[in-house]
Amino acid sequence: MPTSSDPQAYDRLLPKIREALRDQFVGNLEKLPPLSELHYTFDQPLHGDGWHTRETDGRLYWRFTGPASTATLYFARIVANQRTLSLRVFHAVTPEHLDTLTVRYNGVPLTPACKSDGKLNYLIPELAFTERDYTFIEITTLQTKRPDSGDNRLLGIALSAIHVT
């Protein structure tokens, strides 16, 4: 397995890794009833890839994206009323990583609705709500990088919560 010092090697293997993980996650999620909304925090188990290990300050949990530039999450099927996705941003390795963040919901690109107080909101178009038995969220940033703090990990954006209402 590639190390975090070689993100290109990780990116080359990523399609095969994602396919194997997707099959495992989807098999478990298809058995769950649909959700009317989602309130996910990073102290909960994560079904996805492209994330570093969970971190905490004792009251809040978060995860950084990385070492690749794309991170994924899988949830049971979500049948939301208002069709809004909110990301609670804990930290970004650079301001540019936050400014260039893109989100796909079941493969459909989302348009940012507003940004305020560490929260990014996106409108989810009707066509993103599919008949499949699970929900797939993909978050992409610029190429990850090592922070100035001497941390050796390749980091992108740290999120503390994801909501779909």
Q: Give, in degrees to the nearest 5, the angle at Cα 96 between 124 and 14.
A: 65
pTM: predicted TM-score of the whole model, two decimal places:
0.84
Q: Which CATH number fits domain 7-164: 3.40.50.970, 2.40.30.10, 3.20.20.80, 2.60.40.1180?
A: 2.60.40.1180
Task: Say if residue 51 is exposed, middle or buried (CB neighbours under 10 Å; 0-12, 13-18, 19+).
Answer: buried
C-alpha distances (whole Å) from 100 to each of 32, 95, 97, 139 are 34, 9, 5, 11
Taking the domains of the chain in order of start, what are their residue ranges? 7-164
Of 19-28, 79-88, 93-102, 148-157, the one with minimum mean pLDDT is 19-28
* Spatial distance between the Cα atoms of 21 and 41, rounded to a whole number of angstroms: 20
pLDDT (0 to 100) of residue 10: 66
Q: For 96-148, what is each residue's pLDDT tens digit?
A: 999 999 999 999 999 998 888 889 999 999 889 877 889 999 999 999 999 98
